[in-house]
Amino acid sequence: MRATLTKAMQPETLVDPGKVSALLSAVRPYIAVDEGLNVDYLTGLAGSLASIRSTDFTFVTAPTKGIAVTSDGQSIVNLDLAKLATVQHAFQTDTLDTFEPEYQTMQTVPAP
């Protein structure tokens, strides 16, 4: 993820509206954002991001309860919704820098 972000955050990309639009169009199907956070808004914002580097970002993984296999054989990761609420609160209150994630190992759990 950091390598992709590093490539995307290059100043020559961020100051070129065509490149920004192409980048956002390419990643749009794979991300979920708030309703007002659209391609037009992000394209206008991109130029002001030129001084930010990928090392300025913090990556967070959703807390899980382990992995499982569904009855039809698909591998899934079970989210820990109670712990996810804590992460969501940290995002909403801009306190993610004080959030201390629990380091997890993936353990297989029986299929539902």
Which tens digits make up the pLDDT trace of 67-93? Answer: 899 999 999 999 999 989 988 998 899
pLDDT tens string, the chain, 112 residues long: the values are 788 888 888 888 888 888 888 888 888 788 777 777 777 787 777 777 777 877 888 777 888 888 899 999 999 999 999 989 988 998 899 988 887 777 666 555 555 5
Do 52 and 65 lie in a common domain? Answer: no
Do 40 and 67 lie in a common domain? Answer: no
Q: What are residue 73's phi and psi, to 5 degrees?
A: 90, 10
Do 75 and 112 lie in a common domain? Answer: yes
Do 48 and 78 lie in a common domain? Answer: no
Do 46 and 73 lie in a common domain? Answer: no
Q: What are residue 6's phi and psi, to 5 degrees?
A: -60, -45
- The structural domain count of the chain equals 2
Reported in sequence order, the residue ranges of the chain that DSSP labels E, i.e. its strands, are 64-69, 75-79
Distances (CA, A) of 79 to 42, 65, 90: 29, 6, 17
**Domain termination site, one of 33, 56, 79:** 56
- Residue 100: domain span: 60-112
